[in-house]
Structure 1
Amino acid sequence: MKKNILIGLTAFLLMISCKDNKDVLNSLADYNNSMMQKGYHFGDKLTLPKEVTEIAENISISFGDSETSNLVIDPKLFTLGDNEITFNVKTKSGETLNQDATINVFAKNPEKNISYEIVAEYPHDPNNFLEGFLLEGNTVYESDGLKDSSKLIKYTLGGKTPIIEEKQAADIFSEGCAIVGDKIYQLTYQNRVGFIYDKNTFKKISEFPLSNELREGWGLTYDGKNLVATDGSKNLFFLDVNDPLKVVRTVAVAGNKEAYDQLNELEYHDGFIYSNIWFKPIILKIDPKTGEVVGKFDFTKITDENIKNNKDHVLNGIAFKGDNMLITGKNWSKIYEISIK
C-alpha cells in the first residue's frame, strides 16, 4: 500500500514538474517572440522573465558548438540581423531545459531615407536579364543571367548595341561582376565557379571556385582592396582579389529596426556599399566596416512602372556616374540617372 502511494506521489510530482517546465519554456518563447521585432543592440543585457530566472541555477546561450553564460549582446558572439541560438536553463532541481530562439540585433542609429530626383533616362535592352551592372567612363559593362542566355556585354551609355559580347555555356547562370584594373570578375549563380576576363577583349583569363562559405553567387563589387560578394543572405563576404576562394572577413547587415537578407547586386562608391534587396524596390547604403545600414532609397514608383505583369522584372542594377546613381533592372527598357539630394 505504501509502495503504491509513493509511486502515485512520484508520478504526481513528475506531472507537476513537467507542467512547470513547459510553462517556463513557454514563457521564454513568448518573451523571445515579443522581442524579435523590437530587437536588441550591441551591449544590451538580456532580461529574461522571472518565471525563468526564479527557477534557474544557471542560464547559458549556445551558438552551435559554442556556449556562454554572459547574457549580454556581445559583438564577439552575435552579428547584426538574426542570430539562431538556444537558451539552456539549468534548474535548481537539477534539470536542464532547452529553448531554441532567434535574437535580432539592430543598428543603433536610424538609417536616413534618402531623397532623389531623376535627371536623365537612357535606353536599356529589355531582353537582358540583368545581374551585374557597371559604368566606367561612358561605357557600361553588364552581366546577364539565365541558363542558355547568360553573357557578358559592353556598350556605350545611351545605346543598346554591344561593342563586345561574350556568350557563355548553356549550363551557366551568370551573376554579379566587378572591374579590377584591366580585369572583370564575374560570379555564377549555382555553378560554384567564377570567371576572370580581360576587360578590353573579354578573353577569359581564368576561373576560380566559389568558397564554401557562400551558399550561392549573387552580387559582386570591388572596394579598392577586396572583392565583396553576396549570396542571398544577410552577409557581405570580402574576398581576396588575388585568391577569390579565400574569404577575408564577413560582415552582417541590418538597419535600426529591420534585419535584411537576400542582399543582391552591389556597388562600392565613396566609402559605402550600395545593395539592392531581391524582390524589394529599395537600395541600401551600407557602412562596410560595421554592416550598419546608414541610408535607404525607395524606388517603388520606378520599379512598379517596369515590373508590369512580370514579378521577376525586379530592380537589379546599381552604378555611379560621378556622384549620380544609375539604376535599372531585369528586362527593363530604361536606365535611370538619379541625382541624390
Structure 2
Amino acid sequence: MKKSLVVGFALVLLLTSCKNNKDILNSLADYNNSMTEKGYHFGDKLTLPKDVTDNAESISISFGDKETSSLTIDPKFFEFGDNEVTFNIKTKGGETLNQDATINVFSKTPEQNIPFEIVAEYPHDPKNFVEGFLIEGNTIYESDGLEKASQLIKYTLGSTTPTVSEKQPADVFSEGCAIVGDKIYQLTYQNKIGFVYDKNTLKKISEFPLPNEFGEGWGMTYDGKNLIADTGSNDLYFLDVNNPSKVIKTVPVGGNKDIYTQINELEYHNGFIYANVWHKPYILKINPATGEVVGKFDFTKITDENTKNDSEHVLNGIAFKGDNMLVTGKNWSKIYEVAIK
C-alpha cells in the first residue's frame, strides 16, 4: 500500500512537472510570436513572461556557436534582421527546456531623410539595362545585364556612345562592378563567376568563381581595402581583393523599422556605402562598420517618371562626381546629378 502511495505521489509530481514545463514553453512561444512582427532594437531588454522567469533557475540564448545569459539585444551577439536562436531554460526542478525562436532586430536610431536637389541631367542610352555604374573624372564605366545583351562599356558623361565596349558571351548576365586601380571587377547574376578587366581597354584579364556563400551576384563596390558585394539579401559581403572568391566578413544591413532585403547596386563614398533596394525608389546611406542605415534619399519622383512603361525599369545606378551623386536606372533615358543639401 505504501509503495502504491509513493508511486502515485511520484506520478502526480511528474504530471505536475510536465504541465509546468508545457506551460513555460507555451508562454514563451506566445511571447516570441507576439514579438516577431514588432521586433527589437539594439539596447532593448527581453521582458520574458512571469510564467517563465518565476520557474527558471537560469535562462540563456544560443545563436550559432555563441551563447549568452544576457537578455539584452547586444550588437556583439545579435545581427540586423532575423536571428534564429534557441532559448535554454534550466527550471527550478532541475530540468532543461529548449525552444527555437526568431528574434528580429532593428537599429535604435531612425534613419535620416536626406534632402537633395537635382542640379543637372545628362542623356543615357535607354537600351542599357544598368547593373553597375561608376565614374572616374568624366568617364562613365557601366555594366549592363540580361542574357544575350550583357556588356561592359565606358563613355563620356553627356554622351551615349561608348568609347570602348566589351560584349559578354550570350549566356552571361552581367551584374555589379567596381574599379580597383587599373582593373575592373565584375559580378554575374547566376553564372557563378566574376571577371577582371583592364580598365583602359576593357579586355578580360581573368575570371574567378564567386564565393560559396553567394547564390547570386548583384551589386559591388570597393572601399579602398576590400571589394564589397551583395546577393539580393540584406547582407554585405567583404571580399579579399586579391582573392575575390574569399569572404572576409559579412555585415547585415538594417534600419529602424526595415531590414532592407534585396539591396542591389552599391557605391562607396567618403566612409559610407550607398545602396539602392530593388524595386524601391530610394537610396540608402549605410555605415559599413555596423550595417546601420543612417540615411535615405527618396527618389520617388524621378523613379516614377522612368518606370511608366515597365516596372522593371528600376532605380539602379549610383556614382559620385565630386560630392554630387549621379543617379540612373535600368533602361532610363537620363542620368541625374544630385547635390546633397
TM-score using structure 1 length: 0.90
Q: Which amino acid aligns with 1:132?
A: G
Determine if contact 1:104/1:259 at 8 Å carries over to the other structure.
Answer: no
Task: Determine the C-alpha separation between the residues in 1 that align with 2:18 and 2:259.
Answer: 36
Range with bigger deviation, 206-215 or 33-42: 33-42
Q: Where does residue 107 of structure 1 map in the other structure?
A: 107
Residues 86-123 of structure 1: CA deviation (Å, up to 9, x unaligned): 22223334544333222223223322101112222222
How far residue 23 of structure 1 moved from its aligned partner, in angstroms, is 4.1
Deviation at 1:77, TM superposition (A): 2.0
Distance across 1 between alignment mates of 2:272 and 2:58: 43
Task: Give, in angstroms, the shift of residue 36 of structure 1.
Answer: 3.9
Q: Describe the SS at the equivalent of 1:35.
A: helix
Residue of structure 2 equivalent to 1:51:
51
Question: Which residues in structure 2 correspond to 1:296-335 (within 5 Å)?
Answer: 296-335=296-335
**Aligned twin of 2:292:** 292
Measure, in 2, the Cα distance between the counterparts of 1:126 and 1:12.
Answer: 77
Q: How does 1:239-250 map to 2 (within 5 A)?
A: 239-250=239-250
Which one is further off, 153-162 or 33-42?
33-42
SS of aligned partner of 1:74: coil
Q: Which residue matches 2:217?
A: 217
1:126-137 correspondence to structure 2 within 5 Å: 126-137=126-137
Percent of aligned positions that are identical: 75
- Residue by residue over 1:316-341, the C-alpha shift from the partner in whole angstroms, topping out at 9 and shown as x without a partner, is 11011111111111111221111111
Report the CA distance shift for 1:10/1:335 in structure 2 as closer, same or farther (over 3 A).
farther
Give the secondary-structure state (helix, strand or coil) at the position aligned to 1:27.
Answer: helix
Asked if 1:123 is matched to 2:152, the reply is no
Amino acid in structure 2 at the alignment position of 1:89: I
Match of 1:189 in 2: 189
Query: Matched residue of 2:109: which SS?
Result: coil
Aligned residue pair count: 341
Q: Does 1:270 align with 2:261?
A: no
Deviation at 1:43, TM superposition (A): 4.2
Cα–Cα, structure 1 residues 16 and 167, in superposed 2: closer, same or farther, change >3 Å? Answer: farther
Q: Which amino acid aligns with 1:31?
A: Y
Contact kept? 1:178, 1:221, Cα under 8 Å: yes
Quick one: distance in 1 between partners of 2:23 and 2:156?
A: 66
CA contact (8 A) 2:43 2:108 kept: no
Deviation at 1:3, TM superposition (A): 11
Aligned residues: CA RMSD: 2.6
- Whole-Å Cα distance in 1 between the matches of residues 206 and 160 of structure 2? 28
> Where does structure 2 lack aligned partners over 5 or more consecutive residues?
none
Partner of 2:160: 160
Q: Is the 8 A contact 1:197 1:205 kept in 2?
A: yes
In 2 relative to 1, CA 306–19 (structure 1 residues): closer, same or farther, beyond 3 Å?
farther
Question: CA contact under 8 A between 2:66 and 2:77: conserved in structure 1?
Answer: no
What CA distance in whole angstroms lies between the structure 2 residues aligned with 1:8 and 1:188? 69
User: Conserved in 2, the CA contact under 8 Å of 1:37 and 1:257?
Assistant: no
* Structure 2 counterparts to residues 230-241 of structure 1, below 5 A: 230-241=230-241
Q: Distance in 2 between matches of 1:262 and 1:10?
A: 56
> Structure 2 CA distance, aligned partners of 1:7 and 1:170?
77
